[in-house]
Amino acid sequence: MPSSFSKLSLAEPLARAVAEMGYESMTPIQAQAIPVVLTGKDVMGAAQTGTGKTAAFALPLLQRLMKHENTSTSPARHPVRALVLLPTRELADQVAQQIKLYAKYTNMRSAVVFGGIDMKPQTIELKKGVEVLVATPGRLLDHIEAKNAVLNQVEYVVLDEADRMLDIGFLPDLQRILSYLPKQRTTLLFSATFSPEIKRLANSYLQDPVTIEVARPNQEASTVEQHFYSVTDEEKRHALKQIVRQRGLKQAFVFVNSKLGCARLARSLEREGMNTTALHGDKSQDERLKALAAFKAGEVDLLVATDVAARGLDIKDVPAVFNFDVPFNAEDYVHRIGRTGRAGQSGLAVTFVSGSDTRLVGDIEKLLKRKIELEAIEFDEDRPRGRINDGRRAWREAGEVGDPRDVLDAPRDRDRAPRPQREYRAAPAPRDPFFDQPYQPPANDAPPAWEAGIKPATSRVSTNIKPKRKVAALFKSE
Ligand code: AMP
């Protein structure tokens, strides 16, 4: 299997682009997939973003399309010949940028279309003609319906991150799009996992595919230093700031489990003076792309993200990943920490475990096939007041009540899952003799306010504030 690009006999413009990218040798997915795609066979590849899979399909596909290369200005001479479908806007944008770089010295055109932004500029580009079209399914269908994209000359279709496309519910859209394509074509499917659904999709749309499996999913990178800290929910933010400061971290990914939590955490970290941005599905497309670009450019220190928003994003060499929330799915733990320690770099992965996360940590242990040791955090002086770092104790006590792994098969719904018994054995409060005395009613024994017709609320309103009429009505005693 060749490992150097020079052994591939790529067309000169492609070889030049690769050399300019500074790639020295092929990644495993490239070494395996490129020679197969060059033969025109269908491929089913198990590889995640970050493995070099874009070049693995884009380079051979461009090589095969070189025969159509022309300098004509007529749109008819530039029909869509390759279609690359991706689940999210960010991924589509990212892949399109890479393809542009690989095709830089050719006369082949590429474009990207995704939702959330105006269709008009995309329409203008499509009408000029493009050989390689990168798209998310929904927006592509809009363009097909508007007759901006004609797909009857497609020779290659790439279903990238296919598992996520199915997760998101794109199957009907994919089926519709595939129905517009010529039957005679090469289909390349890439997915992080080969679930039964993915296999069904492959059986329906791929012909005699060559299976290539390079990424071993659910495996941790050995270069990642992992810590699981016992904290209470209230301590997490403080712990995060402390670790960032103590380790002198310049940039980090912070993962949370919900969109709401994501926005809230980003806002509060920002308020506390940390250069933070949030990446979640409720942000406008423009905001998300800007957030990503700012992080990549090093203008932002902390990128707070949900799994859906972040999975697959090509952000390499992040020095640290924080799991502010333990992920609901153990596989997401591996995906999250895969952001750091890439390509042999060392990385740090910190997970904050609160008392109710016992079962989720048990899931991760099961997946990684090793025991996870929880550590306590030594807080600086300015740790949150009145809080006890009791997570570790809670964990231990849960272990005493029953091993966390005993509840592995509990339903995913956290509310219905058996919760570990948390017993706070807080330090006994200092005794105050006042509380030992029997109850004495107040001396004047006045009737309670609600019986005496007293207007309690008005007394708390400043005399400078004139309540609006409706509110004032509430204060009337009759
Ligand atoms: P991908 O998995 O295609 O998103 O690629 C992840 C990153 O790896 C991208 O930034 C590529 O530019 C980079 N990359 C792809 N192929 C190689 C290679 N052979 N050597 C070094 N970097 C590469």
Instruction: Say how far apart CA 67 and CA 79 lie, in whole Å.
Output: 13
For the chain, the residue count is 478
Residue 235 CB partners (closer than 8 Å, separation 6+): 377, 379, 383, 384, 387, 389, 391
Q: State the pLDDT at residue 392.
A: 37
- Choosing from 170, 191, 213, the residue where a domain stops is 213
Q: Counting atoms of ligand 1 from 1, which one is nearest the CA of 95?
A: 4
23 C-alpha to ligand 1 centroid (Å): 8
The reply to whether 183 falls in a domain is yes
Residue 172 shares a structural domain with residue 249: no
Q: Of 163-167, 170-174, 372-376, 437-441, give the lowest mean pLDDT range.
A: 437-441
Is the alpha carbon torsion for 392, 396, 402, 403 positive or negative?
A: positive
Banded model confidence at residue 432, pLDDT cuts 50, 70, 90: very low
Domain with residue 74: its CATH number is: 3.40.50.300
Q: Counting atoms of ligand 1 from 1, which one is nearest the CA of 23?
A: 20
Residue 187 shares a structural domain with residue 88: yes
376 C-alpha to ligand 1 centroid (Å): 38
The reply to whether 328 falls in a domain is yes
Residue nearest to atom 14 of ligand 1 (CA): 52
Q: Are 43 and 189 in contact (CB under 8 A)?
A: yes
Instruction: Note the pTM of the prediction, 2 decimals.
Output: 0.59
Residue 209 shares a structural domain with residue 256: no
307 C-alpha to ligand 1 centroid (Å): 21
Residue 197 shares a structural domain with residue 253: no
Residue 153 shares a structural domain with residue 293: no
55 C-alpha to ligand 1 centroid (Å): 7
DSSP 8-class letter at 442: -
224 C-alpha to ligand 1 centroid (Å): 20
The reply to whether 73 falls in a domain is yes
Residue 190 CB partners (closer than 8 Å, separation 6+): 45, 46, 47, 53, 57, 158, 159, 160, 161, 162
Q: Which residue has the tokens 């992920």?
A: 327
Q: What percentage of the chain has pLDDT greater than the value 70?
A: 75
Residue 10 shares a structural domain with residue 110: yes
Instruction: Say how far apart CA 353 and CA 360 lie, in whole Å.
Output: 9
**What value does the mean pLDDT take over residues 424-445?**
37
Q: Are 85 and 174 in contact (CB under 8 A)?
A: yes
Residue 331 shares a structural domain with residue 358: yes
368 or 228, higher pLDDT: 228
26 C-alpha to ligand 1 centroid (Å): 9
Ligand 1 pocket check: which of 20, 26, 37, 54 to mutate, most ligand atoms within 8 Å of Cβ?
54
Pocket of ligand 1 (CB under 6 A): 23, 26-27, 30, 49-55, 314
> In 10 A of CB 146, how many CB atoms?
11
Burial label, 73 (beta-carbon count in 10 A; 0-12, 13-18, 19+): exposed
The reply to whether 134 falls in a domain is yes
Ligand 1 pocket check: which of 10, 18, 23, 34 to mutate, most ligand atoms within 8 Å of Cβ?
23
Q: Counting atoms of ligand 1 from 1, which one is nearest the CA of 101?
A: 12
**What value does the mean pLDDT take over residues 405-423?**
30
Strand partners of residue 110: 132
Burial label, 38 (beta-carbon count in 10 A; 0-12, 13-18, 19+): middle
- Per the structure, the complete domain to which residue 75 belongs is given by 5-213
Residue nearest to atom 19 of ligand 1 (CA): 26
Residue 200 shares a structural domain with residue 231: no
- Measure Cα distances from 381 to 213, 236, 241, 378, 468 in Å: 50, 15, 13, 9, 46
The reply to whether 411 falls in a domain is no
**What value does the mean pLDDT take over residues 237-258?**
91
Q: State the pLDDT at residue 217.
A: 45
Ligand 1 pocket check: which of 59, 95, 98 to mutate, most ligand atoms within 8 Å of Cβ?
98
Given a cut of 70, is residue 23 above it in pLDDT? yes
Q: Using DSSP, state whether 274 is helix, strand or coil.
A: coil
The reply to whether 408 falls in a domain is no
Residue 33 shares a structural domain with residue 136: yes
Residue 55 shares a structural domain with residue 197: yes
The reply to whether 469 falls in a domain is no
Given a cut of 90, is residue 435 above it in pLDDT? no
**What value does the mean pLDDT take over residues 57-85?**
97
- Choosing from 185, 213, 241, the residue where a domain stops is 213
Q: State the pLDDT at residue 285.
A: 72
pLDDT tens digit sequence for 379-389: 876 554 444 34
Q: Of 163-172, 217-226, 452-461, give the lowest mean pLDDT range.
A: 452-461
- Choosing from 378, 400, 416, the residue where a domain stops is 378
For residue 444 the two structure tokens come to: 């004047």
The count of domains in the chain is: 2
Residue 208 shares a structural domain with residue 228: no
Q: Average pLDDT, whole number, for the chain?
A: 79
Instruction: Say how far apart CA 204 and CA 48 lie, in whole Å.
Output: 22
Nearest to 14 by CA among 92, 131, 85, 101: 101
H-helix segments, 248-301: 259-271, 285-296
For residue 427 the two structure tokens come to: 């330090």
Residue nearest to atom 21 of ligand 1 (CA): 23
The reply to whether 329 falls in a domain is yes
97 C-alpha to ligand 1 centroid (Å): 12
Is the alpha carbon torsion for 310, 311, 315, 316 positive or negative?
A: positive
Residue 39 shares a structural domain with residue 177: yes
